[in-house]
């Protein structure tokens, strides 16, 4: 999966509006919309902030892994 699909899926999973996510990240609603349509991609700092907010790894958001938990416990 691509970033824009995973971002939207996480936002919907947590029942957030684009405005709520934008407010938390300190960005515009339009930027979140652009991320979700694939029109824009976040920089590394923003990607990390999004991953931290949802409690997933950046690799998960980028589609490099299907593992949600960035810190698996034995």
3-state secondary structure the chain: CCHHHHHHHHHHHCCCCHHHHHHHHCCCHHHHHHHHHCCCCCCHHHHHHHHHHHCCCHHHHHCCCCCCCCCCCC
**63, two tokens:** 């589609």
Write down all domains in the chain, each with its CATH number in brackets.
3-62 (1.10.260.40)
Interval 16-72: pLDDT, tens: 999 999 999 999 999 999 999 999 999 999 999 999 999 999 999 999 998 877 666
* Residue at token pair 């790894």: 57
Record the pTM: 0.89
| 59 Cβ contact list (under 8 Å, min separation 6) | 65, 67, 70
Confidence of residue 13 (pLDDT cuts 50, 70, 90): very high
The confidence score (pLDDT) of residue 5 equals: 96
């Amino acid at each position: 999966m691509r970033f824009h699909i995973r971002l939207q899926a996480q936002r919907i999973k947590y029942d957030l509006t684009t405005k709520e996510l934008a407010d938390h990240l300190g960005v515009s609603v339009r930027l979140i919309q652009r991320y979700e349509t694939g029109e824009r991609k976040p920089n590394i700092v923003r990607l990390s902030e999004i991953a931290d907010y949802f409690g997933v790894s950046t690799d998960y958001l980028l589609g490099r892994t299907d593992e949600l938990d960035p810190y698996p416990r034995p």
